[in-house]
Structure 1
Amino acid sequence: MRNSLSKILFSLKTKILSPKLASLYKKTADSLQVENIANLNLKKRQVLFQHAITHSNFYRKKYEHLEVFNTGIRSSEDFLQLPPMTREELRLNFNTIKVNNVRSSDCKKLSTSGSTGPSVSVLHDKRHPETPIRWRILQWWGIQPWENQAFIYRFQKPLMERIANTIMWWPTKRVFLAAANPSSEQLSKFVTEFNNIKPALLQGYVDVVFEFALYLLDNNIKIHPPKMVWVTSAPLFEEQRELMEKAFGAPVCDQYGNTEIMLIGAECPEQNGLHIMQDTVHIEFVDENNQTVPPNTSGKVLLTDLTNFAFPLIRYEIGDEGKYKDHTCQCGCPLPLMDNIRGRQSKHIATPSGLQIKGEHVMAMFDGHMKFFKEIQLQQTPDYEVCIYYVPRKIEKSKEEIEGMVQMLKQRTRFEITITYKEVDQVKRVGKKSPIIISDL
Structure 2
Amino acid sequence: MFNLFNLTLKLNGFPVEKAKAEFDTILKIPEEQYPNFIENKKNEIVAYHLKYNPYYRNLVGKSTFENWNDLPVLTKKDLQQPLQERLSKGYTEKTVFINKTSGSSGDPFVFAKDKEAHAITWASIIYRFGWYGVDFNKSYQARFYGIPLDFIGYRKERLKDILSKRFRFPIFDLSDKILEEILSKFKTSKFDYINGYTSSIVLFGKYLKERNIVLTDICPTLKVCMVTSEMLFDEDKVLLEKYLGIPIVNEYGASELDLIAFQNTDGYWQINAETLFVEILNDNNQPVPNGTEGKIVITSLFNKAHPFIRYEIGDIGVLDEKSTSKKPILKKLIGRTNDVAILPSGKKSPGLTFYYVTKSIIEDDGNVKEFIIRQTKIDSFEIDYVSSVALTLEQIQEIEKAIAKYLEPNLHFTYNRKEILKRTKRGKLKQFESLL
Which range, TM-score by smaller chain?
0.7 to 0.9
Consecutive unaligned residues of structure 2, counting only runs of 5 or more, are none
Letter in 2 for 1:54: K
**What is the Cα deviation at residue 281 of structure 1?**
0.9
Inter-partner Cα distance in structure 2 for 1:16 and 1:33: 25
1:29 aligns with 2:27: no
Secondary structure in 1 aligned to 2:322?
coil
Contact 2:16/2:123 (<8 A) preserved: yes
Q: 1:87 to 1:218 in 2, by over 3 A?
A: same
Q: Provide the rounded CA distance (Å) in 2 between the counterparts of 1:362 and 1:304.
A: 32
The superposition leaves residues 109-163 of structure 1 with CA deviations (integer Å, 9 ceiling, x where unpaired) of 3333433333333223333222221111111112222222211123366224423
Tell me if 1:204 matches 2:196.
yes
1:321 matched to which residue of 2? Answer: 316
Does the 8 Å contact 1:295/1:324 carry over to 2? yes
Q: What is the distance in 2 between the residues matched to 1:117 and 1:379?
A: 14
Return the letter of the residue paired with 1:425. E
- Structure 1 pair 396/424, CA: closer, same or farther in 2 (3 Å)? closer
Structure 1 residue 55 and structure 2 residue 47: aligned?
Answer: no
* Pair 1:99-2:88 in alignment: yes
1:89 to 78, 82, 88: 78
Distance in 1 (alpha carbons) for counterparts of 2:252 and 2:53 = 28
Q: Secondary structure at the match of 2:319?
A: coil
CA distance in 1, matches of 2:9, 2:348: 53
**In percent, how many aligned pairs have the same letter?**
25
Deviates further, 307-316 or 376-385: 376-385
How far is the alpha carbon of 1:391 from its aligned partner?
2.0
Tell me the CA shift for residue 390 of structure 1.
1.9
| Cα distance between partner residues in 2 of 1:388 and 1:183 | 19
**Alignment pair present for 1:40 and 2:37:** yes
Q: CA deviation at 1:182?
A: 3.5
Task: Point out the more displaced range, 333-342 or 143-152.
Answer: 333-342
Would you say the 8 A contact 2:351–2:433 is kept in 1?
no
1:135 aligned onto 2:126: yes
Flag the 1:39–1:220 CA change in 2: closer, same or farther, 3 A.
same
Q: State the alpha-carbon separation in 1 of the partners of residues 142 and 25 from structure 2.
A: 28
Change (3 A) 1:407 1:96: farther
Instruction: Confirm or deny: 8 A CA contact 2:112 2:306 kept in the other structure.
Output: yes
Q: For residues 290 and 336 of structure 1, do their structure 2 counterparts lie closer, same or farther at Cα, with a shift above 3 Å needed?
A: same
Amino acid of the residue matched to residue 301 of structure 2? L
The gaps in structure 1 that reach 5 residues or longer are 1-6
CA contact (8 A) 2:273 2:326 kept: no
Change in 2 beyond 3 A, CA 1:142/1:384: same
Q: Is the Cα–Cα contact under 8 Å of residues 285 and 300 in structure 1 kept in the other structure?
A: yes
Task: Show the counterpart of 2:415.
Answer: 421
Change (3 A) 1:105 1:352: same
Q: Post-superposition shift, 1:290?
A: 1.4
1:406 and 1:111, CA in 2 relative to 1: closer, same or farther beyond 3 A?
farther
Aligned to 2:80, the other structure's residue is in SS state: helix
Deviation at residue 87 of structure 1 after TM alignment = 2.7
RMSD over equivalenced CA pairs, Å: 2.8
Pick from 324, 327, 330: which aligns with 1:335?
327
Q: Distance in 2 between matches of 1:164 and 1:38?
A: 38
- Is 1:281–2:276 an aligned residue pair? yes
Alpha-carbon deviation of 1:431?
A: 2.9
Instruction: Give the match's secondary structure for 1:308.
Output: coil
Give the structure 1 partner of residue 15 of structure 2: 20
More strand by share: 2
Q: Per-residue deviation at 1:435?
A: 1.0
**Residue type of the alignment partner of 1:259:** S
Choose from 283, 287, 290 the match for 1:292: 287
- Provide the aligned length of Structure 1 versus Structure 2: 418
* Matched residue, 1:261: 257
310 and 280 in structure 1: CA distance in 2 versus 1, 3 angstrom threshold: same
Moved more, 8-17 or 34-43: 8-17
For the residue of structure 2 that corresponds to 1:428, the secondary structure is coil
- Displacement of 1:359 in angstroms is 2.9
* Residues 303-345 of structure 1: per-residue CA shift (max 9 Å, x gap): 111222111111112221101111259xxx9422112423112
